[in-house]
Amino acid sequence: MKWQSIVDFRFKCGWLIFLMIFCTILLPQFVFANNLSISNVSLEDRDAGADTAVVEFDISWDNSWRNDINYDAVWVFLKVCVGGTCSPDANVAWTHGMLATAGDNPVDSAPGDNADLNIYVPVDLVGAFLYRKASGNGTMAANDVRLTLDYGASPTSAADTDQIQVKVFGIEMVYIQEGDFYIGDGDGTSESASAFHSGTGNAAVQITGALTGDIRVDVSFTGDDTQISNTGIGVDGDGGLDTDDNGTVDNADFPTGWGGFYLMKYEIGQSQYRHFLNTLTREQQFSSETNNRIAEIATAGDYAMTDGASVDYRQTLRLPDPLAGGSYPEEIGCDLDEDGVLNEYDDGGWIAMNYISWMDLCAYADWAGLRPMTELEFEKASRGPLDTVYSEFAWGTTEATDAAISGESLVNIGQVEEIAPKAGEGLSNYDSDTSTAPEGPIRVGFGANGSTNRIEAGAGYYGGMNLSDNVCEMTISLGNTTGRAFEGSHGDGVLTTTASYQGNATNDDWPGIDTTTARGVTGSGGSGIRGGSWSGYDYNMNLSARDSAAYMAVTGTRGSGWGGRLARTAM
């Protein structure tokens, strides 16, 4: 299983007679990361009457699969700039490009030259899932794939005579099928820290399509309320949450994990995040509030997420030198080797993104048309339908192999091929007390190759990578009323523009939403972290440990071990 960062790809360009569509030839930055590639993007067949245009592109990704359990997919979405000034030296926003028609293989879409490619556009028209129709595995590729852009729809709202530029982005996902699963890992005698259990015992709980009541936890490290620790709540897999444990479902829309959903195959990568930043206006990059998308701007060449002059725990995003300044957005790049030349092949673009806050994660989710995952979904994605094992990790065993032992270093440091110098059961990036390197996250999916199985690769049941290690997963908590109010809405691709609050997620059911909703998600109450990180110990990686599952309720800061991935409900 391999990964590709979100990138803005080189365009196949040309004027379309009388249609006034154009696209810009970008500098060669054709990134293949873990071998998802989107290339040869062009705009075709503008229909002035319908306010539509076809976006055509080639796509391929390695190690694709479809079997009786699940399949992988690519979430594809568009960003559009209207007018002739959409360049890094203009403070113009890239807006979200809405698709024209929803459904399974819409009539205005086409799989190109691969009849086995399925296209599904959700009803909100924010993007499309591309995946195999039939069982199989290996490289999935198609040329001349077509999606239809509705350029007249908000937020693009382009006129028929406007020039348009389009960027195509893709994120690898795994499909997690509907069905029963367990939360908690209690065996009747022992359980992981603050794990879910039934009543006052310590046995794991099965989530089914019926109401399971009185789910509780022991008091966690911080952030859980007395409802979850003393009274309990109920979870109805296909019905939502009984938030008062009174036998009545009070939040029918909470994503319990029982229904089908898609989850990012990998943690957000650093190149993915920089490409997100580089579609924002300067005000969205650098709000005057403390929860802006990058650290306050200091001097040319500073590292954007830490305000430092050098790499801090493998966080590579760097401001350019010289700065654009004025009202222009900064074109941020990766620079792991600190040589001042951004986005070189060994500059760490495929390292898991760290130093992001809950507000950062939500902004990225809204921009990409995705949503945060819940901690119930985290356990489902890791364990699948299998029985529990006390103190197990996401790969289903209690054994782990430290990816970086003292005296050994990573191979192909900073490159797309970055790997650990060893193999073993549960290969993972954590602190075993003998680690001296790499002192930060590693390339996402580093444990998997063409010959590894789930346990060797350190993968979850459905193929998600690094769920227990590398960087912590920020999730929506079941431990307090704010988290339990989440209704599972998806991002619409549009961030806030309110003065001093630019660049925030706008979903009013997401934890941290400001009561003045035009300000967006400015806090972190109702969120927490699950899984371990490069700086945590093995017990932090325990799949059911929730000692920090509501931790983000009391902090909105960025951490060197904090990252995450995002979800979308299957619809």
Residue from 565, 78, 569 nearest 365 by CA: 565
Average pLDDT over residues 534-560: 87
Q: What pLDDT shows up at residue 243?
A: 86
Model confidence band, residue 129 (pLDDT cutoffs 50, 70, 90) = very high
Instruction: Look up residue 511 and give its amino acid.
Output: P
Q: Percent of the chain having pLDDT more than 90?
A: 75
Q: CB 139: neighbour CB atoms within 10 A? A: 10
Residue from 201, 190, 197, 235 nearest 216 by CA: 197
pLDDT surpassing 50 at residue 136: yes
Average pLDDT over residues 217-231: 84
Q: What pLDDT shows up at residue 35?
A: 78
Q: Report yes or no: 278 and 318 within 8 Å, Cβ to Cβ.
A: no
Residue from 459, 427, 444 nearest 352 by CA: 444
DSSP H or E run through 285: helix 282-285
Model confidence band, residue 4 (pLDDT cutoffs 50, 70, 90) = very low
pLDDT surpassing 60 at residue 286: yes
Model confidence band, residue 433 (pLDDT cutoffs 50, 70, 90) = confident
Q: CB 326: neighbour CB atoms within 10 A? A: 8
Q: What pLDDT shows up at residue 244?
A: 83
Average pLDDT over residues 311-320: 96
Q: What pLDDT shows up at residue 83?
A: 83
The residue with greater pLDDT, 552 or 511, is 511
Tokens of 502: 């630019």
Model confidence band, residue 295 (pLDDT cutoffs 50, 70, 90) = confident
Model confidence band, residue 11 (pLDDT cutoffs 50, 70, 90) = very low
Model-level pTM? 0.93
Q: What pLDDT shows up at residue 291?
A: 60
φ/ψ of 117, rounded to 5, equals -85, 125
Average pLDDT over residues 139-153: 97
Q: What pLDDT shows up at residue 87?
A: 65
Q: Report yes or no: 344 and 354 within 8 Å, Cβ to Cβ.
A: no
pLDDT surpassing 70 at residue 3: no
DSSP H or E run through 207: strand 203-207
- Who contacts 480 (Cβ-Cβ below 8 Å, separation ≥6)? 223, 224, 225, 227, 228, 525, 526, 550, 553
Q: What is the DSSP letter of 553?
A: G
The residue with greater pLDDT, 87 or 154, is 154
pLDDT surpassing 50 at residue 18: no
Tens digit of each residue's pLDDT (9 = 90 or more) over 20-49: 333 332 222 223 335 789 999 999 999 999
d(CA 415, CA 323): 26
Residue from 376, 389, 375 nearest 208 by CA: 376
Give CA angle at 102 (100, 105), nearest 5°. 105
The residue with greater pLDDT, 374 or 307, is 374
- Who contacts 49 (Cβ-Cβ below 8 Å, separation ≥6)? none
Q: What pLDDT shows up at residue 165?
A: 92
pLDDT surpassing 50 at residue 438: yes
Q: What pLDDT shows up at residue 553?
A: 55
pLDDT surpassing 90 at residue 349: yes
pLDDT surpassing 90 at residue 516: no
The residue with greater pLDDT, 33 or 480, is 480
Q: What pLDDT shows up at residue 405?
A: 65
Average pLDDT over residues 349-353: 96
d(CA 510, CA 474): 13
Tens digit of each residue's pLDDT (9 = 90 or more) over 387-406: 999 999 999 999 999 987 65
DSSP H or E run through 368: helix 358-368
**3-class state of residue 447 by DSSP:** coil
Q: What pLDDT shows up at residue 435?
A: 59
φ/ψ of 62, rounded to 5, equals -85, 160
Model confidence band, residue 60 (pLDDT cutoffs 50, 70, 90) = very high
Tens digit of each residue's pLDDT (9 = 90 or more) over 73-115: 999 999 999 986 776 666 677 999 999 999 999 999 999 999 9
Strands (E), 407-525: 427-428, 472-476
Model confidence band, residue 450 (pLDDT cutoffs 50, 70, 90) = confident
pLDDT surpassing 50 at residue 475: yes
Give CA angle at 127 (135, 53), nearest 5°. 110
Whole-number Cα distances in Å, 154 to 95, 96, 163, 316, 442: 9, 8, 16, 35, 39
d(CA 8, CA 165): 11
